């Protein structure tokens, strides 16, 4: 019997962290390692597009009326206000991927994670990434701002928001301290591999066991 074809339900893999903890790098690495089995949920946002960002790839950039319309029509799985801007997860691509047995990775904040937990606890795996120290977090934010032309006030805003965000680590299933990026990526993959083996996600298991019993 071919066990690689065992039918399973996709899972929703949420990565949250204060900005600057390494979440984007980890997300990209997981997507690369799991290319045929995982998609990223591309959020909609009312935030201004940064020079390095591509519409439809990093985010769907929209204006406030367009964003509100999606919320009102029930097209968002969750939505929240983060740093004065609105962010939300379009529903349709997520539902399609899960039903095809693919996993979906989300880069969303604690508010969005709480909303997903209320509606989809069984499909959800949540991971919080912490920076190794305050100094390292500040360094990473300052380095990044050189690329994004953020002002000092914006960086201070992100530092204080990071501290707020960090208080929510205890609501997550797993917590990773990102001291060494390669090690953290390995750990994030280990969590994914173990969660994929959860019995309730292996919907093809009863057919498989029947097959083994019948001598196939």
Residues paired with residue 39 on neighbouring β-strands, in sequence order: 104
Q: Is 164 exposed, middle or buried (0-12, 13-18, 19+ CB in 10 A)?
A: exposed
The footprint of ligand 5GP on residues 11-70 (CB under 6 A) is 19, 43, 47
Q: Which is nearer to ligand 5GP, 133 or 148 (CB)?
A: 148
Kindly state the smallest distance separating residue 106's Cβ from ligand 5GP, in Å. 7
Kindly state the smallest distance separating residue 89's Cβ from ligand 5GP, in Å. 4
State the alpha helices, DSSP H only, in 40-180.
64-72, 91-99, 110-120, 134-148, 152-166
State yes or no: residue 80 binds ligand 5GP (CB under 6 A): yes
What is the Cα–Cα distance from 193 to 182, expressed in whole angstroms? 17
State yes or no: residue 109 binds ligand 5GP (CB under 6 A): yes
Kindly state the smallest distance separating residue 180's Cβ from ligand 5GP, in Å. 22
State yes or no: residue 112 binds ligand 5GP (CB under 6 A): yes
State yes or no: residue 140 binds ligand 5GP (CB under 6 A): no
What is the Cα–Cα distance from 8 to 101, expressed in whole angstroms? 6
State yes or no: residue 111 binds ligand 5GP (CB under 6 A): yes
Q: Which is nearer to ligand 5GP, 154 or 208 (CB)?
A: 154
Q: Which is nearer to ligand 5GP, 8 or 107 (CB)?
A: 107
What is the Cα–Cα distance from 38 to 193, expressed in whole angstroms? 12
211's enclosing H/E stretch is helix 205-213
State yes or no: residue 88 binds ligand 5GP (CB under 6 A): yes
Residues paired with residue 45 on neighbouring β-strands, in sequence order: 61, 87
Find the binder of ligand 5GP among 39, 82, 105, 137 (CB under 6 A).
82
* Cα 194–chain centre separation: 17
Chain residues that interact with ligand 5GP, rule: CB under 6 A? 19, 43, 47, 78, 80, 82, 87-89, 107-109, 111-112
């Amino acid at each position: 019997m071919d066990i690689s074809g065992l039918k399973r339900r996709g899972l929703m893999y949420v990565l949250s962290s204060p900005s600057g903890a390494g979440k984007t790098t980890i997300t990209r690495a997981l997507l690369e390692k799991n290319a045929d089995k995982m998609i990223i949920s591309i959020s909609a946002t009312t935030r201004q597009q940064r020079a390095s960002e591509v519409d439809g790839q990093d985010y769907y950039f929209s204006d406030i009326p367009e964003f509100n319309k999606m919320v009102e029509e029930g097209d968002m799985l969750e939505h929240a206000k983060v740093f004065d801007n609105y962010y939300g997860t379009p529903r349709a691509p997520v539902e399609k991927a899960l039903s095809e047995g693919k996993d979906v990775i989300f880069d969303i904040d604690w508010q969005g994670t709480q909303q997903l937990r209320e509606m989809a606890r069984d499909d959800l795996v949540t991971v919080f990434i912490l920076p190794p120290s305050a100094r390292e977090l500040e360094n990473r934010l300052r380095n990044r701002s050189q690329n994004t032309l953020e002002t000092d006030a914006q960086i201070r805003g992100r530092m204080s928001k990071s501290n707020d965000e960090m208080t929510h680590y205890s609501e997550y299933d797993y917590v990773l301290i990102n001291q060494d990026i390669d090690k953290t990526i390995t750990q994030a993959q280990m969590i994914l591999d173990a969660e994929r083996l959860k019995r309730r996600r292996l919907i093809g298991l009863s057919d498989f066991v029947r097959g083994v019993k019948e001598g196939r």
